[in-house]
Structure 1
Amino acid sequence: MPTYAYRCRECTETFELNRPMSESSAPADCPEGHQDTVKLLTTVALTGSAIGPAASAPSGGCCGGGCCS
């Protein structure tokens, strides 16, 4: 389930909610009980490594033959 970040316009508190994507645009109440909140844009950090070797381009240049010198 995705995590969405919000900021309260009344107390300026930032908080996160886990909710389904179907509810991503639904209003969110501040933990302090305020209702004037705004959803923040967040970036996704992906970590880890790829499994297996990286794919390589075929040999022989752009068309597989001698057209590129």
Structure 2
Amino acid sequence: MPSYAYRCRACGDSFELSRPMAEASAPASCPRGHDDTVKLLTTFGTVTRGGGPSLVSAPAPSGGGCCGGGCCG
């Protein structure tokens, strides 16, 4: 069962919940009982056939903004 990371906006604590993928979008309460939480984007490591570690994450943003548009110098 996958684990999902959350952060509580009320107290600032981060926590993880293991839940089925079908419940990935369901609201989560923090362990202190607050309901105002946000799901965090997480990355995870894998091992490739060559035996070396690999990091899997979301693709980098493209276009627009300073980070994607190349306006930083």
TM bucket, shorter chain? 0.5 to 0.7
Larger Rg: 1
- The TM-score with structure 2 as length reference comes to 0.64
Q: Gaps (5+ residues) in structure 2?
A: 51-73
Matched positions, count: 50
- Quick one: percent identity of the two aligned structures? 64
Higher relative contact order (CA 8 A, sep 6+): 1
Q: Relative to total residues, which structure has the larger helix share, 1 or 2?
A: 2
Deviation at 1:36, TM superposition (A): 0.2
Deviation at 1:50, TM superposition (A): 2.3
Structure 1 vs Structure 2 CA RMSD: 1.3
- The TM-score with structure 1 as length reference comes to 0.68
For 1:8 and 1:45, how far apart are their aligned partners in 2?
25
Q: Gaps (5+ residues) in structure 1?
A: 52-69
